Amino acid sequence: MIHAADIREWRNHNVVDLKGHKIGVLESIYVDTATDESAMATVRIGLPTRQRLAFVPVDEAILGPDYVKVPYAKALVKKAPSVGMDDILPAEAEEAIFHHYDMTYRTGADGERQLARR
């Protein structure tokens, strides 16, 4: 698992799928607001002139010497909900990310967001 405190070390490293296919480049980590544990990463994907940030869970990520391996196929990550390079994840878009990966989405007791960028 990538710890939020370690993001500076892993930012700009390649993100690969289980077969070693490059998905993109690690941009940032989002933590679960209830536990403060790393939950999602944004991965820069697309052509240099049309890049976007796709979300991928990192709870089972494996760190290599110069890559982060996620247990999801490249095609699935590329179809994941995304934001523009300079955009912020809207609260109402969080649930779609969790559903894309068949994960349970839960807000805080008072309806707080589940994800926070670190």
CA dist 7 and 42 (Å) reads: 11
12: nearest Cα among 28, 23, 1, 31: 28
For residue 35, give the DSSP letter. Answer: T
Which residue type is seen at 63? Answer: L
Query: According to the model, what pLDDT value does residue 76 have?
Result: 97
Q: What is the pLDDT of residues 12-51, one digit of tens each?
A: 899 999 999 999 999 988 988 888 888 999 999 988 888 9
CA dist 95 and 114 (Å) reads: 9
**Chain-wide mean pLDDT for the chain?**
88
Contacts of 31 (CB under 8 A, 6+ apart): 4, 37, 38, 39, 115, 116, 118
How, if at all, do strands 52-57 and 62-63 pair?
A: unpaired
Q: What is the pLDDT of residues 94-117, one digit of tens each?
A: 999 999 999 999 887 677 788 888
Average pLDDT (80-88) is 91
